[in-house]
Structure 1
Amino acid sequence: MKPAIVVRNLTKTYRVPEKTNGMLHVLTRKNKTITALNKVSFTVNEGEILGYIGPNGSGKSTTIKALTGILTPTSGEVSVLGFVPWKERYEYTKNIGVVFGQKTLLWWDIPPYECFRLYKEIYEMDEKTYEKRINYLIQLFDIKTFMHTPTRKLSLGQRMRCEVVAALIPTPKILFLDEPTIGLDVVAKQRMREAILEVNEKEHP
């Protein structure tokens, strides 16, 4: 199969102030280097699902930010769908969907369904294509009973299902998920996984 993501020696370091005791830090400021990613390499083929696991602080979110073009790495090479994410971000982001567990794609005071309509306009989808897509996703993720409720009133599990639906509206070629099941119970996690697997099997046979 054709590689969709190729990562070679991806490295990200940060320079941060080094804390010292007393007033010495005021007179002499020293910095230290923090390594968030150290020569990470992997390949993901089209249609594959990759679970990227590790303890807190191991660089999972940093990797996803580099792969989605949010962050520019210190060194290394990344190719996603033939794009260098941080160099060709405008065209690149038209081909991907992204869900961050700690950030929202929805507007708090607007029901998810109205948010979806806004994304239809952002992605310049025609009405027929949008209706077919959104009806499929509404049924698959079982959100019909609460999609007209203001986002701020939804439970975490309900909101995360709507977040994934929002990311899938434009039929992205790749979907990046950063902790999409955080805070969900076992049943909600399983439902989310099954829905995502079905989308992948249907759109990447």
Structure 2
Amino acid sequence: MIQARGLGKSFRVADKQPGLGGTLRHFFARRLKDIPAVRDVSFSIEPGEVVGFLGANGAGKTTTLKMLTGLIEPSAGDVEVAGFRPFRRQAAFLRTITLVMGQKQQLIWDLPPLDSLRVNAAVYGIGEAEARRRIDELAEMLELGEELRRPVRKLSLGQRMKAELLAALLHRPSVLFLDEPTLGLDVNAQARVREFLADYNRRTGATVLLTSHYMGDITALCQRVLLIHQGQLFYDGSLQELTQQLAPYREVCCDLGEIYPPEAFRGYGELESLAGHRVRLLVSRDQLTATVSRLLSTFPVLDLEVNDPPVEEIIGRLFREGAVG
């Protein structure tokens, strides 16, 4: 459904030096330079897959999404989405995809969402009766009711985001590009949006490429992830395999009967946090049994838990390193 081959994008910007002299030289003899944003990115996504697209700020995620949706033309390589070349912006292609950006909105601020939805239906050539049926179906899935009849400016952020999703899916696209769809939402609203997206994928078989800084979105929806760093793709595989590869340690959390200084835990692994009676350690898997035994015999342990480290911490370490070990 989505095929990227050697995809690259560079932006030409002014090469201006600081200071008055640099400004004068730039005025009379402007120099330009090319800044690579995405370099040699290749991947393919099958119909019906839900794939997470992860990277730090500035890694090239949004630039890649814009090339996949035809908003910008690649500087190098080739891309196909549902058999179309996105940058040609053919009407049939635009009816096949949708792009939802958490920091952008398409609904008209002073009008109820229902009015904007009717406009969208007209743009896509959806008849009034069919549009009404689709709106009712999606509104039920999104738990939207009277909110569709109130001005957008009077809706909560979570209600607005759900209305944005409804507007983006009204034409029943087969490919969804979601860029931070839960940005700024509270925990409950995030959970409802995730449930809706999972349900929509099951019902329609839509292909989804999702970027998010909330790892809860990725772990709830995606079995496969793409990781990009400094414009280059350096991992394409299952999230489970990634966490196993990058987490050769376990998280040990202890509630202690007394308060100890940080140096008391030297030699027990990596001290991640110490807050009052609670200590959190990262312990290598091959040392886990011995370390837990020493903790129990040395400290007044009231409670002890052993877990895998949070996946967001694992991914964060990976971004800092910039490569898979």
Report the TM-score range of the alignment, normalised by the length of the smaller protein. Answer: over 0.9
Residue identity matched to 2:13: V
Pair 1:155-2:163 in alignment: no
Distance across 1 between alignment mates of 2:184 and 2:33: 34
Q: Which moved more, 1:115-124 or 1:75-84?
A: 115-124
Normalised TM-score (structure 2)? 0.60
Report the Cα offset of residue 176 of structure 1. 1.1
| CA deviation profile, 1:116-166 (whole Å, cap 9, x unmatched) | 111111111123322221111101111213111111222221111110100
Pair 1:111-2:108 in alignment: no
**Which one has more relative contact order, counting CA pairs under 8 Å at least 6 apart?**
1
Pair 1:12-2:13 in alignment: no
Report the equivalent of 2:271.
none
Residue identity matched to 2:161: M
% same residue: 41
Name the SS for the 1:183 alignment partner: coil
Regions of 4+ moved over 6 Å: none
Report the equivalent of 2:46.
45
Residue identity matched to 2:105: T
Q: Which of the pair is proportionally richer in strand? A: 2
Report the equivalent of 1:81.
82
Residue identity matched to 2:14: P
Distance across 2 between alignment mates of 1:114 and 1:44: 35
Name the SS for the 1:29 alignment partner: coil
5 Å-filtered alignment, 1:55-74, equals 55-74=56-75
Name the SS for the 2:129 alignment partner: helix
- Count of matched residue positions in the alignment of Structure 1 and Structure 2: 202
Residue identity matched to 2:99: V
5 Å-filtered alignment, 1:166-185, equals 166-185=167-186
The structure whose Rg is larger is 2
Pair 1:189-2:190 in alignment: yes
Distance across 1 between alignment mates of 2:118 and 2:129: 13
Report the Cα offset of residue 88 of structure 1. 4.2
1:122–1:139 Cα change, 3 Å:
same
Unaligned runs of 5+ in 1: none
Residue identity matched to 1:78: V
Name the SS for the 2:107 alignment partner: coil
| CA deviation profile, 1:48-103 (whole Å, cap 9, x unmatched) | 11111111111111111111111001011101000000124322101111111222
Task: Indicate if the aligned counterparts of 1:134 and 1:169 stay in contact, CA closer than 8 A.
Answer: yes
Report the equivalent of 1:128.
129
Name the SS for the 2:95 alignment partner: helix
Distance across 2 between alignment mates of 1:59 and 1:89: 25
* C-alpha RMSD of matched pairs (Å): 1.4
Distance across 2 between alignment mates of 1:142 and 1:121: 24
Distance across 1 between alignment mates of 2:125 and 2:90: 18
